[in-house]
Amino acid sequence: MSKLQTSVNLRLAILGGMVLLFIIPLVMIGSLIDERSAARSQAVTEVGEKWGTNQTIVGPILMIPYNVRTPKSGSTKEKDKWDYVTDYAYFLPEELDSVVEMKTELRKRSIYEIPLYTSKMKITGKFSSILSSDFPIDTTYIYWDDVRLIVSVSDLKGLGGEMKLSLFGKDKKFLPGTRSSFFHSGLNAPVVITETGNSIPFEIQMEIKGSESLSVIPVGKKSKLVMNSDWKDPSFNGNLLPKDRSIHDNGFSAVWESSYFARSYPQVIHSMDTLILDTILNSGYGVSLVIPVDHYLKMERSVKYGLLFIVTSFALFFLMEVFGGVLLHPIQYILIGSAMVLFYVLNLSFSEHLGFLPAYILSSLAVTGLIGYYAISVLKNKRKGLVTASYYLVLYSFLYVILASEEQALLLGSMALFMVLATVMHFTRKVDWYQFGLKKEG
């Protein structure tokens, strides 16, 4: 009898080495999942570049240029004492009400589905009266005849249909660009205002196309956003969750309300900078159109349990050796481990066409049947083969429970590991490992 058959320490060392070697294919599968996920993201980007990407709407905002004097250093002459600089003041609305009616559709790019939307947006509200006292104290001139109303749209390719603007109850026309060095993409309209003390009412109607998400920046002193859509699986995101929301079979509706107390930038910005701009852009809220099953994320999580499952499987077959009087060859362990690794490849490939749950059921049944069929022969016992198949059925069922219960995944996983260890210790508590594998004398 060879030493491989008689030395339990040698056999355990070989099994341990094989378990470590299986880290390599598991890592390769993890890379394959990342590659397929990246391919989907690229498909989303390619479609979005032609239709419209994630959209963020800022505005409307009144942009007013003005001259301000600043002390000139090193000058002793009174007339050369000052520098005169042109800056831009940004006035935000007193009230801002937005209503969005969103229609969605799924476009296919290769095997991937990308959610797209077309939104009809109506923005109403008013600006408070603008007075000279709203500008810095060193202001020397205000360009009242060069006031611009700007609306920032993150991806101008998504602008379509008719754009309507009404100021003081009169129709105006938008022009391309914002003429602002901070809000780079969007629209502007010239506005002639005077220092009369009257508020400035406005109404904007626009059609916006985009993909995956739509966000609105609440620049009003009081802001309200009402959004209705036929998308059934929304993910509400941003700086504030909806005050009211309803998700039903025909889509969703949501209402956000906020005030300027919930943000960290003022109603009048005398001099814009990148810090203020970032604060404004990070204050938005809206919705993401979520594909109901993100199989790449679940696949990534399932692979993390791969090594643990291989260890418990090898432990099961080793216990079969201990109590069944049958010695398995290392190659047989390699074939069993390979079948378990193949489960992830099958699940990944099927899920891209069938969805995660059908792919998971099909892959787990295939691997369970294969290992059970193989175990009947190598263990030379039909009952033990069926017990092995049942074990894998329970194993993959439990893995799905963990994947479906993300918040309790750590708790369930640790409890299962403890139970497996306790079971192994219970059934091997009376095994004399020094005598295992030795031929008994008759």
Global pTM value: 0.66
Checking if the pLDDT of 242 tops 60, the result is: yes
Q: Residue 246: beta bridge partners?
A: 253
| pLDDT at 427 (0 to 100) | 62
Pick the residue with more confidence: 242 or 12? 242
pLDDT digits (tens, 9 = 90+) for 173-202: 888 888 888 888 888 888 887 766 678 889
Mean predicted confidence (pLDDT) in 415-428: 67
- Element of type H or E holding 9: helix 8-21
Distance CA 354, CA 352 (A): 6
Lowest mean pLDDT among 3-12, 264-273, 421-430: 3-12
Reduced to 3 states, what is the DSSP secondary structure of residue 283?
coil
| pLDDT at 1 (0 to 100) | 47
Distance CA 309, CA 317 (A): 12
Checking if the pLDDT of 142 tops 80, the result is: yes
CA 4 vs. chain centroid, Å, equals 51
Distance CA 302, CA 299 (A): 5
Phi and psi based region of residue 252 (left: phi greater than 0; alpha: psi -120 to 50; beta: remaining): beta
Q: Do 229 and 280 form a contact (C-beta atoms < 8 A)?
A: no
User: pLDDT band at residue 396, thresholds of 50, 70 and 90?
Assistant: confident
**Domain segments of the chain as ranges:** 3-39+296-427, 54-292
Distance CA 116, CA 231 (A): 10
DSSP state of 130: -
CA 123 vs. chain centroid, Å, equals 28
Radius of gyration of the chain (CA): 33
- Element of type H or E holding 335: helix 330-354
Checking if the pLDDT of 24 tops 70, the result is: yes
